[in-house]
Amino acid sequence: MGLEVEESIRTTTQSTEPETPSSQKILNKVILQPHALLPKPVPPTASHRKDVDVSTAFGNFFHQRRHVLSSAISRGISTLKRHNDDASKKNKNDGVTEFDLSGLKVFVAVRNDVSVLPRRISFFSRSNCRECGAVRSFFRERALRFVEINVDVFAEREKELLERTGSATVPKIFFGDKLIGGLVELNALRKDGNKELERRLKEAEGEGLAAPAYGFDEAAEEVEEEEAVEEVLKVVRVLRQRLPIQDRVLKMKIARNCFAGSELVELLVRHHGYALTKAVEIGKQLCKKHFIHHVFGENDFEEGNHFYRFVEHEPFISKCFNFRGATNDSEPKAAAAVCDRLTKIMFAILESYASEDRQRVDYVAIGKSEEFRRYVNMTQDLQRVNLLELSENETLAFFLNLYNAMIIHAIIRVGCEEGVINRRSFSDFQYLIGGHSYSLSTIKNGILRSNRRSPYSLIKPFGSGDRRLELALVKLNPLVHFGLCNGTKSSPKVRFFSPYRVAEELRCAAREFFENDGIEVELEKRTIHITPIFKWYSGDFGQEINMLKWIINYLDANKAGLLTHLLGDGAHVNVSYMSYDWSINS
């Protein structure tokens, strides 16, 4: 409405006598003439005769009155700023402004609640920072609007942090353009019933931090000069243009969009002048860097009548949601660095768009956020990353985090139907990672569950010759089931893990799941109620008696004592599986 403060408007209608020059309304000794754009009275016409349909006449009447009323409100309120100063003097004590329109009285009450006044509050933060989370919670509890700049997500803003504060530590809080400090300084302002905080907020002047906007993911990112492009990439560009890519037949099998190894070697020798051995070596490098693959996965690269294809021509490529028409030809980043970047972005997304307990996620807001756009851009770095360089714990954390991130991406992009059967198609949501496709199902059952069959499936995710089998965890850890969130209300809450503390964090995830109604013990009925996850993946937990003994390790003292008592007397214990809520956790 053009005012400097937020206002709460309450409208009431009242009956009035027809306006005449002698009975015009007066507001603060100022005569208000009828607005020139207000509708003029219309004299009765032939359409008002008795033979006109009654319902039509009443419909026209109410439509006209509604139009007159809405027009009066919108045009009358536009004059509020002009009269606000004089009117506020008249009602200085009660903070209420009153003015009249024809047939309408409007009261404008100015709210003095400091929590709803416009503020220029902003602060720098980092992902998974406890002090930053405390600052964020402080502002949210008081309904104070603020701008948060997470320098782990918006790396280009870290330079601004250093320039404005002289330090890279966070949080750093600004009221307007004035630096307040960190969490300690913010807590110091809460003395005397937040009076000092209110005073500092009212004195805030100038612009704070600019809100995150569309931009580059790295501050120093520059376009490479042509002469700096690596030799292998130059070769790839030539091969894509000149190799005879077509469908071939070998051993009664049709290989789509491929070329022969001998054709690649011949082109390198003829076009670049390489020696034969050098050309074969380049072919092996192209396989190692995941530019090309053997169509049947039989070897890395050999000269002869072996068929290969570019990764972008693989049959699965159109189903990969991190592929945008062309592969990322940049030199692959270290897998650990990509995992770290992914984790920080997703931490930032949860901190901004999920509830404090992480039980509810605002997928609509995430889909519209700049953080999510940068996450989607980052997923292109996965296309040719070398996952074999990861340690066992790094591999575990990488795929746990990637699964939970892909769930969020899948819900935003394709939606999700309820029910274990209907979600099987949802589980086919996949990324191109390290030159191969990985779906939600293959990550969970092939990698994290050590290549075990999924429920209601008769085959394992990876066959004996599948290159992805090299990444499958050697030993299954049943705790992975409590680190995976499938986006439903009954699943464990969404979280992301550190490669250095992943084992401890998984144990904490299991304990928290059981604390939040994940298990119920009825001592009198000798019955244990648990999640159906144990039923679907019974092979991961063993027989019921062994499963219950395993659960004891992650229960609080009270529930652990009850379960130990039931198991200790040797009598039969009933196991009941709770109903599963398949609705989205939004």
Residue 393 tokens read as 């714990």
Please tell me the distance from the alpha carbon of residue 42 to that of residue 481, in angstroms, as a whole number. 73
Q: What sign for the dihedral angle of Cα 385, 485, 453, 457? A: negative
Q: Classify each residue of 213-233 as buried b or exposed e, where b means 16 or more C-beta atoms within 10 Å of its C-beta.
A: eeeebeeeeeeeeeeeeeebe
- Are residue 550 and residue 408 in the same domain, yes or no? yes
Q: What integer best gives the mean pLDDT of the chain?
A: 80
Please tell me the distance from the alpha carbon of residue 140 to that of residue 128, in angstroms, as a whole number. 17
- 26 lies in a domain? no
Share of the chain above pLDDT 90, in %: 48
Q: Residue with structure tokens 């402004």?
A: 97
Cis peptide before 499 (omega within 30 of 0): no
CA dihedral 520, 524, 525, 529 (to 10 degrees): 0
Please tell me the distance from the alpha carbon of residue 63 to that of residue 498, in angstroms, as a whole number. 62
- Are residue 307 and residue 340 in the same domain, yes or no? no
* Among 510, 530, 532, CA closest to 521: 530
* Among 272, 271, 270, 300, CA closest to 286: 300
**Mean pLDDT confidence for 139-147:** 87
Largest CA distance in the chain: 106
Reply yes or no on whether the pLDDT at 41 is more than 80: no
- 492 lies in a domain? yes
pLDDT category at 206 given cuts 50, 70, 90 is low
Residues 6+ apart with CB under 8 A from 428: 319, 439, 440, 441
C-alpha 298 chain-centroid distance: 39
Question: Residues 208-253: pLDDT tens digits?
Answer: 777 777 765 554 444 444 444 567 788 888 899 999 999 988 777 8
- Are residue 534 and residue 571 in the same domain, yes or no? yes
Residue 548 tokens read as 């219950």
**Mean pLDDT confidence for 415-427:** 66
Q: Tell me, what's the pLDDT at 418?
A: 63
Residue 149 tokens read as 């700049």
pLDDT category at 328 given cuts 50, 70, 90 is confident
Q: Residue with structure tokens 């050590």?
A: 450
- Are residue 466 and residue 548 in the same domain, yes or no? yes
- Are residue 464 and residue 366 in the same domain, yes or no? yes
pLDDT category at 15 given cuts 50, 70, 90 is very low
Q: Tell me, what's the pLDDT at 151?
A: 93
**Mean pLDDT confidence for 392-419:** 90
- Are residue 290 and residue 399 in the same domain, yes or no? no
**Mean pLDDT confidence for 431-439:** 94
SS3 515: helix
C-alpha 350 chain-centroid distance: 7
- Are residue 523 and residue 549 in the same domain, yes or no? yes
Q: Residue with structure tokens 């009270």?
A: 558
pLDDT category at 170 given cuts 50, 70, 90 is very high
Question: Residues 258-302: pLDDT tens digits?
Answer: 999 999 999 999 888 889 999 999 999 899 889 999 988 767 888
- Are residue 541 and residue 568 in the same domain, yes or no? yes
Question: Residues 145-166: pLDDT tens digits?
Answer: 889 999 999 988 999 999 999 9
Question: Residues 351-390: pLDDT tens digits?
Answer: 999 998 899 999 999 999 999 999 999 999 999 999 999 9
- 519 lies in a domain? yes
Residue 542 tokens read as 């063993």
Sheet of 246-250: strand order equals 246-250, 253-260, 307-310, 292-294
**Mean pLDDT confidence for 135-145:** 89
In the chain, the amino acid numbered 378 is M
Please work out, in degrees rounded to the nearest 5, the angle formed at the alpha carbon of residue 88 by the alpha carbons of 86 and 89.
70
- Are residue 299 and residue 334 in the same domain, yes or no? no
- Strand ranges for 440-510 from DSSP E: none
Domain boundary among 315, 344, 371: 315
Reply yes or no on whether the pLDDT at 464 is more than 90: no
- Are residue 340 and residue 277 in the same domain, yes or no? no
Q: Residue with structure tokens 């009066």?
A: 72
- 404 lies in a domain? yes
- 95 lies in a domain? no
pLDDT category at 420 given cuts 50, 70, 90 is low
Concatenated DSSP letters for 345-361?
HHHHHHHHHB-TTSS-B
Q: Tell me, what's the pLDDT at 7?
A: 38
**Mean pLDDT confidence for 531-549:** 91
Q: Tell me, what's the pLDDT at 44?
A: 47
Q: Are 248 and 307 in contact (CB under 8 A)?
A: yes
Domains in the chain, number: 3
What DSSP designation does 488 have? Answer: B
In the chain, the amino acid numbered 301 is F
pTM of the predicted model, to two decimals? 0.76
Q: Tell me, what's the pLDDT at 271?
A: 81
Share of the chain above pLDDT 70, in %: 74
Please tell me the distance from the alpha carbon of residue 531 to that of residue 558, in angstroms, as a whole number. 19
- 478 lies in a domain? yes
SS3 26: strand
Q: Which domain holds residue 164?
A: 121-203
Q: Are 432 and 332 in contact (CB under 8 A)?
A: no
- 40 lies in a domain? no
- 3 lies in a domain? no
* Among 487, 516, 477, CA closest to 414: 487
Reply yes or no on whether the pLDDT at 89 is more than 80: no
SS3 536: helix
- The CATH number that applies at residue 139 is 3.40.30.10
Please tell me the distance from the alpha carbon of residue 347 to that of residue 128, in angstroms, as a whole number. 6
- Are residue 345 and residue 439 in the same domain, yes or no? yes
- Are residue 310 and residue 351 in the same domain, yes or no? no
160, containing H or E segment: helix 158-165
